[in-house]
Structure 1
Amino acid sequence: MAGAARRGGPGPRPLLWLVLLGVAAASLVGAQVTSETKEVPENKPADIPCSAYRSSWSNPRIEWKFQKGSSLVLFYYGGELTEPYKNRVQFSPTTIHFNTVTREDTGKYICEVVGDGSHIAKSEVNLIVQVPPSKPVAHVPTSATIGSKAVLRCTETDGSPPPTFRWYKDSMLMPANPKTSLTFRNSSYTLDPVTGELIFEPLSGFDTGDYYCEAMNNVGSPQKSDVIHMEASEVNVGGIVAAVVVLLMVLALVAFGIWFAYSRGFFSKRKE
């Protein structure tokens, strides 16, 4: 019987933790909350303070949670660190210490302290693990029609905090507003440094050139993409007209051939 009880014991623990998370969240409504942001380079140690801790409180209960996006997990509960933090983190009432941090540790660390009676305090630390940007990818059409809309994109997936972007044409930095530059005043474009989009609307002949983008986040060196040539060209109206004329001539020749064959009785002879 004891063995059966031991085997069944771990089963409800995840459910119990969810219940405890919900109860704790409800009890902390109205509690004093402090918040701060901390940036630490990747693979370096980091200390996350618990500003909510009060040394004057007797036998406070301390809990840590880690939030990343919509995910919320218990970090320190019941007097012990949870997996996978046991071998990476040291706990003290005022601080949790990471031996080293990785980009996966970026997120919000929530310290909740419950003292005797109704004493409740909560502190949050937004940890940003600094990661330099990798080489970005420039998405540039190799050809586009003058007068149309052309969209160029720059993407990068590793940088933390997320990088901002700059664009270069023929090795010259493109300003956010082309009308402020003698070099680019004949172009009509918008440039979003956050999304990395460069939109020409309308595209002009002046926009032909070699383009590349650059990603930077003040961590490490800015990274540049490969250079891609974009050719802005007029619609070939003469070529289109010539193609239509040739097509009409071919159709006329086919029609004449069919008429000529009928007039000579070729199709009637084949039927006999």
Structure 2
Amino acid sequence: RVPVPPAVDIPCSVYRSSWTNPRIEWKFQKGSSLVLFYYGGELTEPYRDRVRFSPTSIHFESVTREDSGKYICEVVGDGSHIAKSEVTLTVQVPPGKPLAHVPSSATIGSRAVLRCSEGQGSPPPTFRCFPFPLLSPSFPPVFPPFPSFPSSFQIFEPVGVWDTGDYHCEASNNVGAPQKSDVFRMETSEVNVGGIVAAVVLVLLVLALAAFGLWFAHSRGYFSKKTDSGGKKVIYSQPSRRSEGEFKQTSSFLV
């Protein structure tokens, strides 16, 4: 464990000076990621300008929290004999100011989640959440500290009327002083049963009015198809002038 930002030497304890032209490789492992940063007699990026190599160790000019992890030295010696040593480096960085995520309101009987997050401390800090102000110096935290990265949370289930109040969280990792977040308030309220009932009644009333309107329009025949009542066609011809003594039917009706 080293505080930031001093220089660091990481030894390769399996190197033997008696070996003839040994092949040395360095790897860096962080979580599931494995990076080869010294291979074929050369440093790879981004270590080329930050690290000095020697057969017995590697020297960091300076380190950051991102350099925390496992360093693996592999040496292939005489007779293809492979030896390996590992060193875990933890760069210690005090935590920064954490951020508290507190819901502004919660319904009594429901579920509420309080979260704390912080992305600077190394090793990852632990968190505690307190009501603000504390009722007494011995008042227990809302939840005990436990490691989590990058955030931790506390669940109120079910939410009670007594959970109304101001809350803040604290981050600490035994490097420097603990850091506190801003204070946030959470209000609790009961379920608005009257409002829910009124909304349901209003929806049912609208549906009833719509159904009545459809029935009334149908009963008045607004939705029936209109047709011509007469199916006959009449053609009338004006009679031509005749002498008074001559009679001849000139009108015709076509049905």
**Under a length normalisation based on structure 2, what TM-score does the superposition of the two structures give?**
0.69
Match of 2:172 in 1: 216
Is 2:38 the partner of 1:76? Answer: yes
Gaps of 5+ in 2: 223-255
Quick one: which amino acid aligns to residue 160 of structure 1? S
What is the CA deviation profile of residues 92-132 of structure 1, one whole-angstrom value per residue up to 9, with x for unaligned ones?
22211111112232222110112111432101112222222
**Cα distance change of structure 1 residues 248 and 127 upon mapping to structure 2, 3 Å threshold:** closer
Give the number of the structure whose residues are more often helix, by fraction.
1
Return the alpha-carbon distance in structure 1 between the equivalents of residues 163 and 29 of structure 2. 45
Match of 2:120 in 1: 158
Contact 2:97 2:181 in 1 (8 A): yes
2:90 match: secondary structure:
strand
Gaps of 5+ in 1: 1-38, 175-180, 268-272
**Cα distance change of structure 1 residues 191 and 151 upon mapping to structure 2, 3 Å threshold:** farther
Return the alpha-carbon distance in structure 2 between the equivalents of residues 133 and 171 of structure 1. 22
Is 2:65 the partner of 1:109? Answer: no
**Cα distance change of structure 1 residues 99 and 203 upon mapping to structure 2, 3 Å threshold:** same
Match of 2:240 in 1: none
1:172 match: secondary structure:
coil
1:44 match: secondary structure:
coil
Q: Among 3, 8, 14, which residue is 1:52 paired with?
A: 14
Quote how far apart the aligned CAs of 1:171 are: 2.8
Match of 2:49 in 1: 87
Match of 2:59 in 1: 97
Quote how far apart the aligned CAs of 1:74 are: 2.7
Quick one: which amino acid aligns to residue 192 of structure 2? N
Out of 161-170 and 189-198, give the one that drifted further: 189-198
Q: Among 174, 190, 194, which residue is 2:147 paired with?
A: 194
**Cα distance change of structure 1 residues 218 and 192 upon mapping to structure 2, 3 Å threshold:** closer
Contact 1:166 1:173 in 2 (8 A): no
1:117 match: secondary structure:
helix
Return the alpha-carbon distance in structure 1 between the equivalents of residues 90 and 111 of structure 2. 37
**Under a length normalisation based on structure 1, what TM-score does the superposition of the two structures give?**
0.65
Match of 1:65 in 2: 27
Contact 1:190 1:200 in 2 (8 A): no
Contact 1:191 1:198 in 2 (8 A): no
Match of 1:230 in 2: 186
Return the alpha-carbon distance in structure 2 between the equivalents of residues 183 and 82 of structure 1. 50
Is 2:94 the partner of 1:141? Answer: no
Quote how far apart the aligned CAs of 1:155 are: 1.2
1:53 match: secondary structure:
coil
Return the alpha-carbon distance in structure 1 between the equivalents of residues 140 and 62 of structure 2. 48
Return the alpha-carbon distance in structure 2 between the equivalents of residues 81 and 204 of structure 1. 59
Q: Percent identity?
A: 70
Quote how far apart the aligned CAs of 1:226 are: 1.3
Quick one: which amino acid aligns to residue 194 of structure 1? P
2:96 match: secondary structure:
coil
**Cα distance change of structure 1 residues 146 and 121 upon mapping to structure 2, 3 Å threshold:** same
**Structure 2 matches for 1:1-16, cutoff 5 A?**
none
Out of 139-148 and 48-57, give the one that drifted further: 48-57
Q: Among 150, 163, 166, which residue is 1:207 paired with?
A: 163
Contact 2:129 2:143 in 1 (8 A): no
Equivalenced residues, count: 212
Quote how far apart the aligned CAs of 1:79 are: 2.9
Is 2:167 the partner of 1:167? Answer: no
Quote how far apart the aligned CAs of 1:60 are: 2.6
Return the alpha-carbon distance in structure 1 between the equivalents of residues 29 and 35 of structure 2. 7
Quote how far apart the aligned CAs of 1:159 are: 1.8
What is the CA deviation profile of residues 2-46 of structure 1, one whole-angstrom value per residue up to 9, with x for unaligned ones?
xxxxxxxxxxxxxxxxxxxxxxxxxxxxxxxxxxxxx22222111
